[in-house]
Amino acid sequence: MKSIVRNIVLCSLPVFVISCGEEPVSGPDVPVSDESVYMEVGLSLSAADNTASGRTSVPEARSATGDPSGGYVTSDSGTETGKPQENAIAELLLVIADSGDKNIAAALLEDASGSGTLDYVIPVPFHLLKDHAGEQVHVYVFCNPTDKLKSLAENVPGGGLPEDFVDMTHTVSDLQDDPAWESGHFLMSNATMCVTTLPDDWSDYRSISSPFSLTGAQPLAVERMVARFDYKTVKTDNIYPVSSNPDDINETENPGVMVQLTDAAFFNVARSFWYLRRVADEGLTDISVCGAETADNYVVDPYAESKMAISEDMTGETDFFHADIEDPDSWDWTPLADLADTEEDSEWGNDAPETRGYHIWRYIPENASPKQDFQGWNISTGIAFRGRIVSGTGCDPELKAVLDGGTEPVYVYKGILYGSWDMVQAAGETNEDLKVAWNAVENNGVSYSDAGFTVYDPDENGDYETYYFHRNVHNDNGIDDPESADYLCPMKFAVVRNNVYKLAVQAIFSFGLTDNTPVEDEYAYMMMTVEVLPWVTKEYEIIIEE
């Protein structure tokens, strides 16, 4: 059988939202004080620059986040600006660090909502900066900070501020509701490193009306710390024929026999993430805080060192995952019918017909492997789909009675569902190959699987459940045969912050797996389109044959 998966990856244009003629936000209750110096910070919502790299058609397709000068892969297929509740900045924490990334000065703007401008003036205690005049510093901004981050601006008993912050992490306790994606209060931080030199003389910056510009003419890009997943219902009620021809997905060898996808669940969802993004070369060499993600490097998460010790089999450290793949009972299933009621997002791709119908599903932390050949099922974040085999229009009456009755096993042989074991025997009268397989089981003690049969037992509700698995694709080289030496490319299977992953099941090519244990070649079972939009756009198409 020839099966096909098309993954469409979309990488964004920059969305620089800068005030024009508006007063910078400084907070309504911040007094002008001789004890403060005033810092101005200009922000933009991070996305990729389509023209900076000059690369619009490359073998790898990578959702791009980071510094547009870093050479990451981009294209011109659209933009994803995010919803108002995803873009809002209610509070802002400024951290000024020395060249060794030690916190030397910090201040919190508790009301950063202002009037829509992304230019902010923040008073910083003068005593924290007075001894650092003329020094080169790193500037970090945390939007909508957690209490843990806010502690960076609080004096310790000795009178200073907490110095260490670059390695601070946030731990997600509830996949449904977490401060990282609180509506109107999404966690955001630097998308790029911001380096500036403090003034030699502070006397000109002691007034709220004459602040020192930390970011200069180029706004500091901030990005959300989590990723978003959207889902599109392609078929009515998620009911699909079992297609036999990828060029005509309505062609089938099982007329009237359908698969209805009912639920979906994430597996291997990271428990924690860095507040500040970091990248590295393969094997955790040359780690860079706020470095640009490219087509060849690796996003580093807090568990990277542990992952380096995990083998490619299904066993290993799992303490860093919610919904661990080795514990299906921990998965949180979402009825696909419920997603039709979530907020729809059609604000990308110029609202072309193929972009419509996606609904916001869930936000989750980033998760990646630190090495190319370590991207196994036990590390990768993915989605399990649960479905059931049902009868549809044109189904053979005898087979329909068996499927609707749900009281006895049904059998699939070489992609065709024959029904009960007696129906397999009857069909074998006109199919010699099937007759040999039936006889091997019935009279020679050969197991069903060894004879080539897949057996679907009805559950307590009389449903014939079946499962499909998708590892989230972030980077791709167009090779989707797991037997190929070039199957994996850097960060092929990953979830990266500030990206929107839009999923749609276009077709189903198999009756699926009988239990919720994944197999390596997930592409043999369904046609999935994946569109990756930094919060937008490169297309790639994956075709595999069996």
State residue 149's pLDDT score.
98
Residue with the two structure tokens 């029904």: 419
User: What is the pLDDT at residue 530?
Assistant: 83
Rounded to an integer, what distance in angstroms lies between the CA atom of residue 57 and that of residue 404? Answer: 50
Specify which residues 222 forms β-bridges with.
45, 190
Q: Tell me the C-alpha distance between 301 and 286, whole Å.
A: 14
Burial class (CB in 10 A: 0-12, 13-18, 19+), 154: exposed
Q: Are 283 and 370 in contact (CB under 8 A)?
A: yes
- Determine the pLDDT at residue 483: 83
CA–CA separation, 225 and 299 (whole Å): 13
* Cross-strand partners of 389: 259, 464
Q: What is the residue-level pLDDT of the chain in tens, covering all 546 positions?
A: 333 333 322 233 223 333 333 456 554 444 444 589 999 999 987 654 322 222 222 223 333 333 333 333 333 344 566 788 898 999 999 999 999 999 999 999 998 886 456 899 999 999 999 999 999 999 999 999 999 999 999 988 777 899 999 999 999 988 889 999 999 999 999 999 999 999 999 999 999 999 999 998 889 989 999 999 999 999 999 999 999 988 899 999 999 999 999 999 999 999 999 999 999 999 999 999 999 888 889 999 999 988 887 765 545 566 789 999 888 999 999 999 998 878 887 666 566 777 788 899 999 999 999 999 888 888 899 999 999 999 999 999 999 999 999 999 999 999 999 999 999 999 999 999 999 999 999 999 999 999 999 999 999 999 999 999 988 989 888 787 888 888 899 999 999 999 888 899 999 999 999 998 877 666 568 888 888 876 643 333 323 233
Burial class (CB in 10 A: 0-12, 13-18, 19+), 282: middle
Can you list the pairs that 444-453 forms with residues at least 24 positions away whose Cβ atoms lie under 8 Å? Answer: 448/411, 452/413, 452/414, 453/411, 453/412, 453/413, 453/424
Is residue 466 a contact partner of residue 455, using CB atoms and an 8 Å limit? no
CA 20 to chain CA mean position, Å: 34
Helix, strand, coil proportions of the chain in percent (round to 5)?
Answer: 15, 35, 50
The whole-angstrom separation of Cα 494 and Cα 55 is 22
What is the pTM (predicted TM-score) of this model? 0.86
**453: which strand partners?**
413
In the chain, the amino acid numbered 360 is I
Nearest to 132 by CA among 162, 93, 106: 106
